[in-house]
Amino acid sequence: MKDTYHDNKAVQALAPSVVSAAASGAAIDLNGFDSALFVINTGAIVGAGLFGVKLQESDTTTEADFTDVAPADQLGTVPAALTANATYRVGYIGSKRKRYVRAMVTKASGTSVAVGIVAVLGHPAIAPVAA
Supply the DSSP string of 43-98, one letter for each residue: EEEESS-EEEEEEEEESSS-GGG-EEPPGGGEES---SSPPTT-EEEEEE--TT--
Residue-wise pLDDT for 79-93, tens only, equals 888 999 999 999 998
Task: Assign domain 9-124 to its CATH architecture.
Answer: Sandwich (2.60)
Domain layout of the chain by residue ranges: 9-124
Q: Looking at this protein, which amino acid is placed at residue 128?
A: P
Q: Residue 98 and residue 55: Cα distance in Å, rounded?
A: 12
Q: Residue 100 and residue 27: Cα distance in Å, rounded?
A: 6
Residue-wise pLDDT for 45-55, tens only, equals 887 778 999 99
Q: What is the pTM of this model?
A: 0.91
Q: Residue 37 and residue 67: Cα distance in Å, rounded?
A: 18
pLDDT, residue 99, reads 94
Residue 69 or 6, more confident: 69
The number of C-alpha atoms within 13 Å of 114 and in the hemisphere containing its C-beta is 6
